[in-house]
Amino acid sequence: MEPLAGYIATLGQIGTIGPLALALARLARLRGNAAAARRYLADAREIASRAGGATAELHCRLLDLEWTVADRAEPLTPNERRDLADLRASAVLRDMTGVVRRIDALAGVRCT
């Protein structure tokens, strides 16, 4: 897939359209290559932004925050909390319930 990293593709079981670099970022992270994962994630975010893919860009921003917090193993900073609140508002507007659940989990919000 690497030769196609700069393209947009249909990903996942329900045919979500997004940057192929996002899938490569996740795969690199799973393989333990954090540097490559970050590079692919930055590429994916740039591609999403350039193509007007607000949903894909939201996914990239959230994944970046999730990885940052996981790698640091410390709570969110105030700036990260603000970013997360902004992401949550955008996800709610787009009815992205799965993303909202991930955001709430990262923020430590208990869902009932």
Mean pLDDT by 10 residues, the chain (112 residues): 56 66 94 97 94 91 95 92 96 95 88 48
Q: How many CB atoms lie within 10 A of CB 44?
A: 29
Residue 16 lies in a domain: yes
Residue type, 81: R
Range of the domain at 21: 2-107
Cα-trace Rg, the chain: 14
CA distance 64 to 102: 13
Residue 112 lies in a domain: no
The per-residue pLDDT for 111 is: 52
Whether the CB-CB separation of 44 and 22 falls below 8 Å is answered with yes
The per-residue pLDDT for 112 is: 45
Whether the CB-CB separation of 10 and 16 falls below 8 Å is answered with yes
Residue 85 lies in a domain: yes
Residue 58 lies in a domain: yes
Quick one: which of 42, 93, 100, 96 has its CA closest to 67? Answer: 42
The per-residue pLDDT for 52 is: 86
- Structural domains of the chain, count: 1
Count of all residues that appear for the chain in the document? 112
Q: How many CB atoms lie within 10 A of CB 99?
A: 19
Residue 63 lies in a domain: yes
Residue 49 lies in a domain: yes
Full-model pTM: 0.82
Backbone phi, then psi, for 82, in 5-degree steps? -65, -45
Residue 65 lies in a domain: yes
